[in-house]
A and B are shown apart, each in its own frame.
Chain A
Amino acid sequence: MTRWGMVIDTDRCTGCGACVVACHAENNIQTVGEEEAKNGRAMHWLRIERHYEGEFPDIQVRFLPVLCQQCGSAPCEPVCPVYATYRTPEGLNAMVYSRCIGTRYCANNCPYTVRFFNWHAGEWPEPLDRQLNPDVSVRPAGVMEKCTFCVQRIQEGQDRAKDESRQVTDGDIKTACSQSCPARAITFGDLENSESRVAQMAKSARASHLLEDLGTDPSVIYLQGGEEH
């Protein structure tokens, strides 16, 4: 069985934000504008958290890209009254836009605050609408959304493999963020495939989960604690 997972090496992350931009471009995420962003409505499925460690002059900055952890035991799933979010057999936390009625209960139960709500519909005035990815639906107002591990790319990779009568190999499918990271801090793959890079990196001594003690069983592994960077 496949379980899609991601390894993020925070010792490599430079905080450049290329992954954030790539995610926006790939997934038709709206830019809400300055006013709305000031009111806390910015939509960055993947955000870079900036944590300072130490005191001046020995300050270190650690960048933590946080995205939907695609939890194995997701707290957001049971609380949706209409099954707009559930766990797929391949280990993704699916988000069904057409079913969502906008109670926002899932967002309230997410401990990572990685769910985003379309307070208004996104606008892409001409010619910006030409940048929209045709593989990804544009969400209307009143609907929840979040990182999907670029499910459209997963789907496309699996379709291509089937067309070519082969299995999906490791590295075939890249999420937008893993593809665009210049420091190669983000790796995506199948955690159940013992030969995949993510499965091997997950065994590292530096590996940990975010908010481990909550028991959400996330699919995103963070590597940290290497030498000073």
Chain B
Amino acid sequence: MTPGSMSREVPLFRPLTSWRPKLILGSLLAGAVAALLFYSWGYQIRNDIGVTGLNRPVFWGFYITNFVFWIGISHAGTLISAILRVTSAEWRRPVTRCAEAITVFALSIGGLFPLIHLGRPWLFWFMIPLPNYRGLWPNFRSPLVWDMMAIGTYLTGSILYLLLPMLPDLAILRDRHIADNPNSARARIYRFLALGWRGTAQQWHSLESGIRALAVIIIPVAVSVHTIVSWDFSMTRQPMWHSTIFGPYFVVGAIYSGIAVLMVAMYLLRRGMGLESYLNDKIFNNLGLLFLTFTLIWSYFTFAEHLTVWYGNEPSEMAVFTERISGQYAWIFWAMILLNVALPMLVLSFPLGRKPFFTAIVGVGVLIGMWIERFLIVVGTLSLPRLDFTVGTYQPSWTELGILVGSFGLFVLLYLIFIQIAPIVSIWEVREGEHHLGQVRPASEHPTVETT
């Protein structure tokens, strides 16, 4: 540990050693916005799901769009943390924890939406395989039950994958707080949270083994989760849903939107917490290149999907296609192309465009674009069923808008709370990276000795 790196760590410890008024204020504001979600949801439960703008044939609307959107965002952490760990990419070190935190919170929020969109949400437990006196079990042939299993597995895995590498950092915080003020609430909390981690060789070996194993396991889980979410659509017979490409398409889209959120989060953390030395330009450049790669992959899949439909010229699919390209959904379709294809390619292709501010702007654009993509898939198809006598439209109501806005508030709230509990950059991993780079003190003459 060089003296320079010690002072580098100061901004990381700041929110964890004392109350920061700006963070408190931010949390309260986010909490107010999150309250909108719960108020709208409560209103909806009280007054039936009919308060939404859903109808026949558009039985799914904003809520399923949001569901796919938030689950998609959750792929940020897995990509950065797991794939970069498995490939031993050293530049991942400052980014892993903020990415994993995004995953956990996005998954939790995404997992709320299947409950929100139910007609009778208090009976959601019918979907859980619990022994019951009726002898009835859930229908494991239904993609919604696969969703539940997959998201449950992924959420458990992500939470553990976030918490396990956090143990050494919590121990660092414990040791600092015990040294500064042994009886403070923070010292007691961290002593509990660190679970007694001592940092012995055996513990490190087990921990690293475990993290590596989790990283390897969680990658196929993440791929399967968004594939299964996409199968909610492709297992049906609806025009432009029944597509074999949806599995990989959605996974790519998920990682794409995950990187977008990560860029925005990293930019805000960098600015708000003074973490320029950790979340530096080199990382933004590397992630920007990854971002650009996914722009290209996503564009490829989108083109393939639309080309197949257009070339096949099947009437019920062409009805949906035409409505999307040149009909009532045309303006948001082309906005999506602009935000997801044109803007990222124009900006991210140049080194200047991969500076933090610009990648964050592109990230916001991609987030909007990916939300539009999900909306087009859900509502675009449902509004044009095969028997065209029953064509419909969809207008969201205030509850749906409120829940959408509230979900962002909830995400920010959870993230801000997290920042005040654990270091948003993984301290031990960054120190380990410095150690690997040889930034260590040479042998000294005066080590400290104590006897107890």
Contacts and interface: CB of A to CB of B under 8 A. Distances in A.
Partners in one complex: yes
Interface of A: 36, 39-42, 47, 49-51, 66, 75, 78-83, 99-105, 107-109, 111-113, 115-121, 140-144, 210-211, 214
Contacts of A210: 387
5 contacts: A39-B53, A66-B389, A113-B385, A119-B54, A142-B48
Given A40-B393, A111-B386, 20 more contacts: A39-B53, A41-B56, A75-B237, A81-B139, A82-B136, A101-B121, A102-B118, A102-B119, A103-B114, A103-B117, A104-B54, A108-B60, A111-B238, A115-B56, A119-B54, A121-B48, A142-B48, A142-B118, A142-B120, A211-B387
Interface stretch (B76-84, B123-131, B294-302, B342-350): B123-131
Contacts of B58: 40
Interface string B384-409: 01110110110000000000000000
Interface in B30-50: 48-50
A99 B55 CA distance: 21
A40 B49 contact: no
Contacts of A80: 139, 142
A40 B144 CA distance: 25
B382 interface: yes
Contacts of B203: none
Given A101-B127, A108-B238, A141-B49, A81 B120 contact: no
Given A120-B50, A141-B49, A103 B118 contact: yes
Given A41-B50, A82-B127, A117 B238 contact: no
A79 B235 contact: yes
Given A81-B139, A111-B237, A143 B387 contact: no
Contact of B236 (A41, A109, A140): A109
Contacts of B53: 39
Nearest to B53: A39
Given A49-B389, A78-B139, A121-B48, A40 B55 contact: yes
A24 B49 CA distance: 23
B101 to A, nearest CB: 30
Interface residues of B, number: 43
B273 interface: no
B139 A118 contact: no
Contacts of A101: 118-121, 123-124, 126-127
Contacts of B120: 100-102, 140-143
B248 interface: no
A117 B392 CA distance: 15
B142 A141 contact: no
A210 B389 CA distance: 13
A143 B118 CA distance: 10
Interface of B: 48-50, 53-60, 114, 117-121, 123-124, 126-127, 136, 138-139, 141-145, 148, 232, 235-238, 382, 385-387, 389-390, 392-393
A36 B397 CA distance: 13
Contacts of A83: 136, 138-139
Contacts of A143: 119-120
Contacts of A117: 56, 59, 119
A116 B56 contact: yes
A79 B236 contact: yes
Contacts of B385: 111, 113
Contacts of B143: 79, 105
A40 B236 CA distance: 22
Contacts of A112: 386-387
Given A99-B126, A105-B144, A40 B57 contact: yes
A94 to B, nearest CB: 14
Contacts of A36: 50
B290 to A, nearest CB: 35
A37 to B, nearest CB: 10
Nearest to A64: B389
A49 B117 CA distance: 30
A185 to B, nearest CB: 18
Contact of B387 (A75, A105, A111, A140): A111
B57 to A, nearest CB: 5
Pairs A-B, 5 closest by C-beta atoms = A102-B119, A142-B119, A119-B50, A40-B55, A142-B120
